[in-house]
A and B are shown apart, each in its own frame.
Chain A
Amino acid sequence: MKNKNMPSYIIAIILAVIFIYPLYILILIAFEPISLTFDRLYPYQLPFIFTLKNFEASIKDLSLIKPVIRSIIVAFTVGILAIALATPAGYGLNKLAARFSNKIIMLMFVVNMMPAIVIAIPISVYFIKVGLYNNIFGIALAQELVVLPISVFIMLGGFRALPQDIENQAMVDGASIFHSFRNVILPLIKIPLLISFLLAWMTSWDEFTYAVIISPVNPTFPVSLYDYVSRGEPFIASSFALLVTIPVIVIVVVLQKYLKGEYLSGGMKI
């Protein structure tokens, strides 16, 4: 029995090392003195010498705090907007005939397949005119396109899972539309709401194409990280690269149970 599983273990461990190594490097450059990493032709990888100097230096450098704050605002805006648009859409699609709602979902996924750069360039030209260029809300509005189809799909799934008559029953019992939504439906769609919000938040936190084209002067964190790398000053950004990664890793590990292929594959069901 033991021998039978040996090959699996060996492959799993080799793959685990490949998957963890880049993360180890990310932690290493954040905590090891620069004299041992960036300043050397052959940087040290072991032993690990711990210092907080890099963190102190990057926190003093205000030029990176602003992009991180922008990223946070944009990610929350995208998440809230996703819920605000996708909840009614999911509700409505659930009531429509299936062949009709399936067509609409499909249409939204076709939109999702459109290359971001193709849409971002004309949008940026348009945003210059209306004052949304170099503006965090301009980024949020554009990034919403990436997350909206998946949010609608998740919310539709949430509403489909509800018992059909639950709304009518609440109405019969005398609840107003508002009350039946707040007290009966909302508690039942909490999980889909949370998943769409977090996925939208994560996608925005990660998004680069729209951000770099629509707001190059007031960049979000991914764009300013790119700026530092292309200017050849990666060490300043190294501790921040780790900092911005932590919340997303936490979300992924928490959501692991819900991160089914179905959501991630863009809602294509098999």
Chain B
Amino acid sequence: MHRYRNYRYMVYVLPALAYVAVLSFFPAASVVFYSFKTPRGVYSISNYEAISKAGLLTSIGNTVIVSFGALLIQLFFAILIANILIKSLKGNKLFSTIFILPYGISTVVSAFIFSLIFSPVGGFANSTLYSLGIHSVDWYSTKYSSMGVVMFADFWKNTPLVALILMGGMSTIPPSLNEAASVDGAGSLRRFIHITLPNLAPFIAIALLIRGVSEFNIFALPLILIGYHPSLINTLVYEYFIYSSTTYYSYAAASVLLAIIVVFAFIIIKFGGAKQYEK
């Protein structure tokens, strides 16, 4: 009786589940299926061969560089911000409002602003350098500097989110721990390394994994800031989708992206997520 009563409540959950299944799992499966189809209607791996000849590996490499670079920068500054905000400094309310603001700026507007700041001609960054008497810089002169611009914009937009997650973690550390260590003569750096970091580790792991998935899916920022070159996986998929005569190449590239994310998600659930959902 009890069991029956319990499962009856599935009815309420089904609409949301069905929604997700129809609009997400089904399309994703069809992408993988059609990625093996060639324009002649034969099923083979030729699409994959074609896109790997056309520089798929470079795109994956670029995406890895941007993702890890942006993650490390965000993590560093988020720890810094969380460390400052957790102290009860005067004016912290103002600082915490300032540090959360970029979260409220939409990705496209952020990309738009940074495209104006780093514009090689008439850019605000160069205008600042000029007024300091320094030569203008072409921010997009090399592949790595272009990716650096993307990373910087991404740092600006997403650090608040990471900082918020870490703040949640820091507030769980009992202040008595720090006080005790302080009495024993531990300096602030040693306290940070031996008390804050170990206690914060699970929160850092969660933030890294969550942001890691989003970093790999980074799309609007690079599209607006650097276009298709240097290409990241997402902009590559989009380029194939827009400019190639069939959708099959974009399906193949999308499947590669999906495979990477699935592996990543698997790692999250296996090593980070499963425990977290226990109530």
Q: Which A positions have Cβ atoms within 8 angstroms of B?
A: 5, 8-9, 11-12, 15-16, 18-20, 22-23, 25-26, 29, 38, 40-45, 85-86, 88-89, 91-93, 95-98, 102, 104-111, 113-119, 121-123, 125-126, 141-142, 144-145, 148-149, 152, 160, 202, 205-206, 208-209, 213, 222-223, 225-226, 229-230, 234, 237, 241, 244-245, 248-249, 251-253, 256, 259-262, 264-266, 268-270
* Contact status A96-B224, CB under 8 Å: no
B interface bracket (residues with beta carbon within 8 Å of A):
35 or more
Contacts of A244 in B (CB 8 A): 106, 109
Q: A111-B25, A121-B254 are in contact. Are A88 and B15 (CB under 8 A)?
A: yes
Q: Which B positions have Cβ atoms within 8 angstroms of A?
A: 6-7, 9-13, 15-17, 19-20, 23-25, 27-28, 30-31, 34, 77, 80-81, 83-84, 87, 89, 95-117, 121-124, 126-128, 130-131, 156, 161, 164-169, 172, 202-203, 206-207, 210, 213, 216-217, 219-220, 223-224, 227, 234, 237-238, 241, 247, 250-251, 254-255, 257-258, 261, 264-265, 268-269, 272-274, 276-279
Q: A117-B254, A119-B24 are in contact. Are A261 and B101 (CB under 8 A)?
A: no
* Contact status A45-B9, CB under 8 Å: no
Q: A20-B101, A41-B122 are in contact. Are A25 and B169 (CB under 8 A)?
A: no
Central interface residue in A16, A98, A106, A268, by most chain B CB within 10 Å:
A268
* Contact status A253-B20, CB under 8 Å: no
Contacts A89-B13, A115-B234 known; 9 new A-B pairs at CB < 8 A: A19-B98, A19-B101, A42-B131, A43-B127, A241-B109, A245-B109, A252-B103, A253-B97, A260-B168
For the A-B complex, the count of residue pairs with Cβ-Cβ distances under 8 Å equals 290
- In the bound assembly, the distance between CA atoms of A145 and B128 in angstroms comes to 42
* Contact status B112-A121, CB under 8 Å: no
